Amino acid sequence: MAVLRFEDVTKKFGKVTAVNHMSFETKDGEFLVILGPSGAGKTTTLKIACGLVNPTEGKVYLDGEDITKVPPYKRDISMTFENYSLYPHMTVFDNMAYPLRAVKGEFTEDEIKNRVVEIARMLHIEELLDRFPAEASGGQKQRIALGRTMVRKPKIYLLDEPLAHLDAKIRVELREEFHRLEALKLATTIYVTHDYTEALSLGDRIMILNEGVVQQLDTPEEIFYRPVNLEVARQVGQPAINTIECDIKEKNGRLILVPVDEASVSFPVSNSDKEKIKNYGKSKLILGIRPKDISIDDSKNKESIEVTVDVFQPLGSEGVLTSNAGDLQLIALIPPETKIDHGQSVKLYYNPEDFYLFDIDTKENIKLKY
Ligand code: ATP
């Protein structure tokens, strides 16, 4: 069993509240990803979990046992830091062996050697064992730091941005490796990132954190398609979701959304959303449309809007189109081979079923609430 639970945990550093009344529970053996912007409290959450930071209030439990006051070395939890924290004067082997040697008398040198070599093999860094960290590349240092965390077979792994500072190709390679690492599959892992693609790719569940507050803890699919609020919707998806403040109006018996900044265009809503908007009862809302839900292809989509092309960036597998309809800006993901020029008028298509609707005041997802 390896279940970590935070019960109403708050951490203040002077006037800064890094973690604010946080409660959550991992599932045994799951890969839980914490996603949030810089300063959201992600690292502080991990440090509280492993005992490097004491909470100002609240309790932490491991498998039901209160570990709030248990020192880090007595918790069965290992943490890898973003900046590697390798000892420069020790070889890679000694760096990796360190956590096993630190618990004096528990492992023989033979056992330590076997375990270090086994993990090094798994992470493809066996040939580096006799070198010093300075003789390893950034990606290799990241693997060494990960290896040092993994030698111990703890109940919980805490990984703080383990792929940060790596170039895009190595990131993708290592991300794939995370899927394959048996040791991580067996233990419960909490993984911090601010990269939503990593979160969606790796997480059994994702916890979205903002200003120390848990916004949503859910499966990647729920987070993407049913975000509880605008903040969560903005955290996942690149380019970010288009958000448009709109007046709610009625025209010829249909409910339409008219952008506050550009009254010459309107967005008709679907029948299922009509009821929800009526129950919501206010006269304004924030409309969210993901760039992937806007296209130049009319075959599946019902409604259209005339826009002028501002910038088109063909980025390999997709093209990012930035366009304007008067004062309204719309970003769409379209095929990269599209021939399109600045200033050209085009029709963009969308399906109102794909709309996200948020409360103008609380920013909560109207579709989930009403
Ligand atoms: P990043 O993605 O930039 O690493 P984060 O989400 O991990 O950010 P934290 O490092 O947990 O965020 O920091 C949360 C808040 O707490 C920030 O405002 C930070 O400045 C503050 N903070 C963190 N540690 C300390 C400390 N030791 N002393 C004072 N303030 C701190």
pLDDT for residue 253:
84
Cβ-proximal residues to 144 (8 Å cutoff; 6+ apart), any chain: 84, 86, 92, 95, 96, 125, 128, 133, 136
β-pairing, 318-325 with 294-295? Answer: unpaired
Enumerate residues lining ligand 1, CB below 6 A.
13, 16, 18, 36, 38-44, 194
Protein residue closest via CA to atom 4 of ligand 1: 38
- State the distance from the centre of ligand 1 to the C-alpha of 209, rounded, in angstroms: 13
- Give the separation between CA 203 and CA 32, rounded to whole angstroms: 5
Residue 183 has pLDDT above 70, yes or no: no
- 257 and 224 in a common domain: no
Confidence of residue 172 (pLDDT cuts 50, 70, 90): confident
- 216 and 111 in a common domain: yes
- 275 and 133 in a common domain: no
Residue 173 has pLDDT above 80, yes or no: no
Q: Between 34 and 195, name the one with better pLDDT.
A: 34
Work out the angle at residue 288's Cα, subtended by the Cα atoms of residues 329 and 281, and round it to the nearest 5 degrees. Answer: 120
Residue 218 has pLDDT above 70, yes or no: yes
- Region 364-370: mean pLDDT is 94
- State the distance from the centre of ligand 1 to the C-alpha of 352, rounded, in angstroms: 40
Give the residue among 220, 283, 272, 221 at the shortest CA–CA distance from 250: 283
In whole angstroms, how far apart are CA 87 and each of 111, 132, 358?
22, 9, 49
- 117 and 43 in a common domain: yes
- State the distance from the centre of ligand 1 to the C-alpha of 39, rounded, in angstroms: 5
Report if residue 233 sits inside a domain. no
- 310 and 218 in a common domain: no
- Give the separation between CA 254 and CA 61, rounded to whole angstroms: 53
Cβ-proximal residues to 336 (8 Å cutoff; 6+ apart), any chain: 314, 315, 316, 317, 318, 319
CATH number, position 31: 3.40.50.300
- 260 and 160 in a common domain: no
Instruction: Please give the DSSP secondary-structure letter assigned to residue 216.
Output: E
pLDDT digits (tens, 9 = 90+) for 186-212: 789 999 998 898 898 889 999 999 999
Mean pLDDT score of the chain, rounded to an integer?
91
Report if residue 83 sits inside a domain. yes
The ligand 1 atom at the shortest distance from the C-alpha of residue 192 is 7
> Of the given ranges (281-285, 312-316, 351-355, 358-362), which has the lowest mean pLDDT?
312-316
- 175 and 95 in a common domain: yes
Beta-strand (E) ranges in 96-187?
156-160
- Give the separation between CA 106 and CA 111, rounded to whole angstroms: 10
Query: Residues 354, 288: contact at Cβ < 8 Å?
Result: no
- 278 and 181 in a common domain: no
- 162 and 38 in a common domain: yes
Domain end, chosen from 193, 228, 263, is at 228
- 256 and 149 in a common domain: no
Q: Which two tokens stand for residue 129?
A: 């064992």
pLDDT for residue 246:
98
Report if residue 158 sits inside a domain. yes
CATH number, position 253: 2.40.50.140
Report if residue 357 sits inside a domain. yes
Query: What predicted TM-score, i.e. pTM, was given to this entire model?
Result: 0.89
- State the distance from the centre of ligand 1 to the C-alpha of 5, rounded, in angstroms: 21
Domain end, chosen from 179, 196, 228, is at 228
pLDDT digits (tens, 9 = 90+) for 307-322: 999 999 998 889 999 9
- State the distance from the centre of ligand 1 to the C-alpha of 18, rounded, in angstroms: 6
Instruction: Please give the DSSP secondary-structure letter assigned to residue 134.
Output: G
Report if residue 15 sits inside a domain. yes
Protein residue closest via CA to atom 19 of ligand 1: 39
Q: Which of 15, 20, 33, 42 to mutate to test the pocket of ligand 1 (most atoms within 8 A of CB)?
A: 42
Report if residue 92 sits inside a domain. yes
Report if residue 234 sits inside a domain. no
Burial class (CB in 10 A: 0-12, 13-18, 19+), 240: middle
Report if residue 148 sits inside a domain. yes
Protein residue closest via CA to atom 26 of ligand 1: 13
| Number of domains within the chain | 2
Domain encompassing residue 61: 4-228
In whole angstroms, how far apart are CA 365 and each of 208, 266, 287, 290, 368?
15, 20, 10, 14, 6
- 65 and 103 in a common domain: yes
The ligand 1 atom at the shortest distance from the C-alpha of residue 11 is 16
Instruction: Please give the DSSP secondary-structure letter assigned to residue 33.
Output: E
- Region 64-79: mean pLDDT is 92
- State the distance from the centre of ligand 1 to the C-alpha of 41, rounded, in angstroms: 6
- 260 and 221 in a common domain: no
Tell the residue number behind the tokens 């008067």, with chain if given: 326
pLDDT for residue 301:
64
Domain end, chosen from 198, 228, 258, is at 228
